Amino acid sequence: MSSGLGGLNKSPNGVVIGLAQLQLPDPHSREALWQQTLKVVSMVGKARRGMPGLDLIVFPEYSLHGLSMDTSPDILCSLDGPEVAALRTACADHHIWGCFSIMEANPGGNPYNSGIIVDDLGEIRLYYRKMHPWVPVEPWEPGNQGIPVCEGPNGSTLSLIICHDGMFPEMARECAYKGAEIMIRTAGYTAPIRHAWQITNQANAFTNLMQTASVCMCGSDGTFDSMGEAMFVDFDGTPMAAGGGRADEIVCCELRPDLVREARKHWGVENNIYQFGHRGYSAVKGGAQDCPYTYMHDLAAGRYRLPWEDEVVHTDGTACGIPAPRRVFTAVDRG
């Protein structure tokens, strides 16, 4: 499928998305956090001016916070705080949808790594807490609200996952199972993850007949080097458009969720999202609809355990300077 010359030629059924390869910041004070918020707000305006047909602008994970893993209250946000209010106002002022990242204060434990999708009226349409923090490096509380989807621009259905989430095929499958036609993946990854980033973005798309739009932070903060690597993948696993390592570049592409819907209805061979729950339907009416996977049963029963479980070396964040946790994840934490 064509990208519409990066969204310059928008079709009636198209959704044009911009992936902002935002320059990696390093804020360590409330004022620095606010200045970074204003930078993101200005980029929303840049996106609208530079691409009048743009429907949605996506900012990477850590776009306000940087990669310091600092849990200081000075650089944490809340949904009703001034930073989120400014982002919502920017979307309304420029009549554009936006996807943003915040490190969210959590009175009951470590902060959440959260993402929001805001519509062109400034209303929050999707709110997600990262399910799989990148352990052992990241100190964030594991998300407890599942994986939501929302209606997006031009009748699309959107989902949002964050960075390491995309390395688990179950995450993309859950997005598609809930109806997502376009899965957004925001990240702060650095260059060693480049190959895994590319192949998982492609696999997540192909195995679920879903289009993926993924972007990392970009450039250096003097310590870390994020890679940018904006990437759009079609539902057959074919890359449609990609960025490199130029900071603050907005990489655009037109996606066609109507063609996703068509493929999900009409594909026979490799309609994997359907066939997963209807095994061997050519031999058995309706296909086998059991659950033959041991790990799923064990996880649901709370007894997930690998054959090499006792040999795993890293089971907390102490190797990265994070104190060993003492609190157990309970029903209260699940929300």
Instruction: State yes or no: is 163 an active-site residue.
Output: yes
Q: Which of 77, 163, 216, 218 is catalytic?
A: 163
Burial of residue 328 (CB within 10 Å: 0-12, 13-18, 19+) is exposed
Q: Which of 10, 61, 83, 254 is catalytic?
A: 61
Q: Which of 77, 83, 104, 130 is catalytic?
A: 130
List, in order of start, the domains of the chain with CATH numbers. Answer: 4-275 (3.60.110.10)
Tokens read off for 167: 């390395």
Q: What is the pLDDT of residue 63?
A: 98
Q: What is the pLDDT of residue 7?
A: 81
Q: Alpha helix (H) ranges present in the chain?
A: 4-7, 30-50, 82-94, 169-177, 194-206, 257-266, 272-275, 294-300
Q: What is the pLDDT of residue 325?
A: 95
Instruction: State yes or no: is 309 an active-site residue.
Output: no
Reported as a single tens digit per residue, the pLDDT across 8-42 is 889 999 999 999 999 999 999 999 999 999 999 99
Instruction: State yes or no: is 138 an active-site residue.
Output: no
Cα 59 from Cα 126, distance rounded (Å): 15
Q: What is the pLDDT of residue 284?
A: 98
Tokens read off for 96: 């554009």
> Residues of the chain whose pLDDT is less than 50?
none
Reported as a single tens digit per residue, the pLDDT across 127-142 is 999 999 999 999 999 9
CB-based contacts of 36: which residues, under 8 Å, 6+ apart? 25, 27, 63, 64, 66
Q: What is the pLDDT of residue 9?
A: 84
- Residue from 83, 97, 1, 115 nearest 51 by CA: 97
Reported as a single tens digit per residue, the pLDDT across 270-284 is 999 999 999 999 999
Q: What is the CA angle 274-278-280, rounded to 5?
A: 120
Q: What is the pLDDT of residue 276?
A: 97
Report the predicted TM-score, pTM, of the whole model to 2 decimal places: 0.97
Residues of the chain with pLDDT > 70: what percent? 99
